């Protein structure tokens, strides 16, 4: 069968594309997904993401190459390998990004991508709990829930500390401005994960013109004699199959998967492809370049009052929270553990907010052993995590060989600019200022790590290099732009010089957005 459109990847973007392209009934659409269905209860319940964090059945579980500026550590890079993609396994913080982020997309030569032009699509995307407004929609598939009023009491102390330092308070990070301290919104609906798989794809799968093939990993693109992309070769349950597209193939495999598939298909930097043993079909040097991510680290504190550590740390507490969730759909199981935070200027002279914070009334450390699971610290505690909003370091995704089943080489090149190093120090000092303000310090017994002894710039940088990790916002590797030497797709997301092929996912971001990138990824789709 020949389909009008073939979409590779049923992630946050692919699920929306499948719905939108099939909704008028005139086009046949095939959606290819390397993983299985996300119908497990644990994908529906917000805190279920802890069970998918180290689960190879639903997670690609990538790791970066050793990072020179992070003491040669390999950084863990989870990516969803399941219907819904990373949107099925993320922590659901819903942040659009700052106005400047999208205005910068437009000023880079991408007509139609300025903030005022993308805002209607953000509004179309959502049903916000507060209803329709200048900033929010009330008829979209994705349900947005403000966590304000439902957070742990110690969160109020964080906000009060920010206010006492004359840091602005913000009721809505997705409103007129992103700047300030506040409580995050999450994409949930009556206590359940509200993502593109549940809200766009599942209803759309009832249409006769939409087909999904699961456990089907794309191996290579298929080309016609004229160089046009005409289909995709996949391996499904051990059998190789070829699917043909009459109109277009659309890659929505994410910031890692999309450039990898382009490269194994012969689209990329010719010299690099030759080194990997791949014949070049289209020399496009920007494929896999421009990799951006948010790099974060946490400061840990012991509290003088009970926190979520006390409840999550005991079987009885977990059972009580589970019962609360089952009976009411509310409580910590219905929310993200990243409850508050905000966007701040690390120094007063910064032109725009450049540091994002997360305040978490549950302190835990990522275990090095995947079998250990995510467990809270054995004391009442909280953590404050920070990252740069717009890091300037750039990395790459590249293939080591033409084998499509081989994991790609992920090189983020974290902390390779002076600007990024300076912002680590800004963020570290900002965390300390907030934790030292009276409202929060009155509920704090001690700073567990890095400890007050870590005070100098050099010591703070050492702590960050030893303890930082990805916050899983990889993007930019098939960047949008007019110049074929520095970008991969044009402003219509068509791959430069390759007819019949588009990329629609976070890889097309010219620059990373401030905040979590799931919302802008869905907007793009």
Average pLDDT, the chain: 95
pLDDT of residue 311: 87
Question: Active-site positions?
Answer: 473
User: Pick from 206, 214, 205, 231: which is nearest to 1 by CA?
Assistant: 231
Mind listing the pLDDT tens digit for each residue in 442-497? 999 999 999 999 999 999 999 999 999 999 999 999 999 999 999 999 999 999 99
Q: Does the pLDDT of residue 371 top 70, yes or no?
A: no
Tokens representing 515? 């905040």
Percent of the chain with pLDDT over 90: 88
Confidence of residue 248 (pLDDT cuts 50, 70, 90): very high
Pairing of strands 192-193, 188-189: antiparallel
Mind listing the pLDDT tens digit for each residue in 124-172? 999 999 999 999 999 999 999 999 999 999 999 999 999 999 999 999 9
Q: Does the pLDDT of residue 411 top 90, yes or no?
A: yes
Q: 């590249």: which residue's tokens?
A: 398
Q: Does the pLDDT of residue 323 top 90, yes or no?
A: no
pLDDT of residue 63: 97
Mind listing the pLDDT tens digit for each residue in 373-389? 678 899 999 999 999 99
40-44, 46-50, 266-270, 422-426: least confident range: 46-50
pLDDT of residue 48: 83
118-127, 310-319, 335-344: least confident range: 310-319
As a residue count, the chain comes to 525
Mean pLDDT for the stretch of residues 326-341: 87
Q: Does the pLDDT of residue 331 top 90, yes or no?
A: no
Tokens representing 521? 């990824």
Rounded to 5°, angle at Cα 107 from 12 and 500: 50
**How many C-beta neighbours within 10 Å does residue 466 have?**
12
Cα of first residue to Cα of last residue in the chain, in angstroms, is 25
User: Pick from 504, 508, 506: which is nearest to 479 by CA?
Assistant: 508
pLDDT of residue 347: 95
Confidence of residue 336 (pLDDT cuts 50, 70, 90): confident
What is the dihedral angle through the alpha carbons of 207, 211, 215, 221, rounded to the nearest 10 degrees?
-140
Percent of the chain with pLDDT over 70: 99
115-124, 325-334, 500-509: least confident range: 325-334
38-42, 95-99, 190-194, 439-443: least confident range: 38-42
Distance, in Å, from the CA atom of 196 to the CA atom of 202, rounded to the nearest integer, reads: 9
Whole-number Cα distances in Å, 393 to 389, 476, 514: 12, 12, 15
Confidence of residue 317 (pLDDT cuts 50, 70, 90): confident
**Sign of the CA dihedral 43, 94, 463, 302?**
negative
Tokens representing 458? 């050099």
Distance, in Å, from the CA atom of 73 to the CA atom of 63, rounded to the nearest integer, reads: 10
Model-level pTM? 0.96
Half-sphere exposure of 248 (CA within 13 A, CB side): 18
Is residue 346 within a helix (H) or strand (E), and if so which, with residue range? none
Mean pLDDT for the stretch of residues 63-80: 97
Q: Does the pLDDT of residue 372 top 70, yes or no?
A: no
């Amino acid at each position: 069968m020949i389909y009008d459109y073939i979409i590779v990847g049923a992630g946050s973007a692919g699920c929306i594309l499948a719905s939108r392209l099939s909704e008028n009934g005139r086009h046949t659409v095939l959606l290819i997904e390397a993983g299985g269905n996300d119908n497990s209860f644990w994908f529906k319940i917000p805190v279920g993401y802890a069970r998918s964090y180290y689960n190879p059945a639903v997670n690609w579980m990538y790791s970066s190459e050793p990072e020179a500026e992070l003491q040669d550590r390999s950084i863990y890079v989870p990516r969803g390998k399941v219907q819904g993609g990373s949107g099925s396994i993320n922590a659901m913080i819903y942040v659009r990004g700052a106005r400047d982020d999208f205005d910068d997309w437009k000023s880079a030569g991408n007509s139609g991508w300025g903030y005022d032009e993308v805002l209607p699509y953000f509004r179309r995307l959502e049903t916000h709990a507060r209803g329709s407004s200048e900033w929010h929609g009330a008829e979209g598939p994705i349900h947005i829930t403000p966590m304000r009023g439902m957070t742990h009491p110690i969160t109020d102390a964080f906000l009060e500390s920010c206010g006492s330092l004359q840091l602005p308070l913000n009721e809505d990070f997705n409103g007129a401005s992103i700047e300030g301290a506040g409580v995050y919104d999450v994409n949930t609906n009556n206590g359940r994960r509200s993502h593109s798989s549940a809200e766009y794809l599942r209803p759309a799968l009832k249409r006769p013109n939409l087909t999904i093939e699961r456990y089907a990993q794309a191996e290579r693109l298929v080309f016609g004699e004229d160089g046009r992309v005409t289909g995709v070769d996949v391996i499904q349950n051990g059998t190789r199959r070829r699917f043909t597209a009459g109109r277009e193939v659309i890659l929505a495999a994410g910031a890692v998967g999309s450039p990898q598939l382009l490269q194994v298909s012969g689209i990329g930097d010719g010299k690099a492809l030759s080194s990997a043993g791949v014949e070049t079909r289209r020399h496009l040097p920007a494929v896999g370049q421009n990799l951006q991510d948010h790099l974060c680290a946490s400061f840990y504190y012991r509290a003088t009052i009970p926190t979520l550590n006390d409840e999550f740390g005991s079987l009885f507490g977990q059972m009580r929270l589970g019962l609360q969730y089952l009976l009411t759909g509310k409580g910590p199981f219905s929310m993200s553990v990243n409850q508050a935070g905000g966007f701040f200027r690390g120094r007063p002279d910064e032109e725009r907010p450049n540091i994002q914070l997360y305040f978490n009334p549950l302190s835990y450390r990522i275990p090095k052993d995947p079998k250990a699971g995510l467990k809270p610290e054995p004391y009442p505690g909280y953590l404050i995590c920070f990252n740069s909003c717009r890091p300037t370091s750039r990395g790459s995704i590249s293939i080591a060989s033409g084998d499509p089943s081989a994991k790609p080489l992920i090189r983020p090149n974290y902390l390779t600019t002076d600007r990024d190093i300076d912002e680590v120090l800004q963020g570290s000092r900002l965390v300390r200022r907030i934790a030292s303000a009276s409202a929060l310090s009155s509920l704090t017994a001690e700073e567990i790590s890095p400890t007050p002894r870590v005070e100098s710039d050099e010591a703070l940088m050492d702590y960050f290099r030893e303890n930082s990790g990805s916050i899983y916002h990889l993007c930019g590797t098939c960047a949008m732009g007019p110049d074929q030497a520095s970008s991969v797709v044009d402003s219509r997301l068509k791959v430069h010089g390759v007819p019949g092929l588009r990329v629609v996912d976070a890889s097309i971001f010219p620059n990373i957005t401030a905040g979590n990138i799931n919302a802008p990824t869905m907007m793009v789709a």
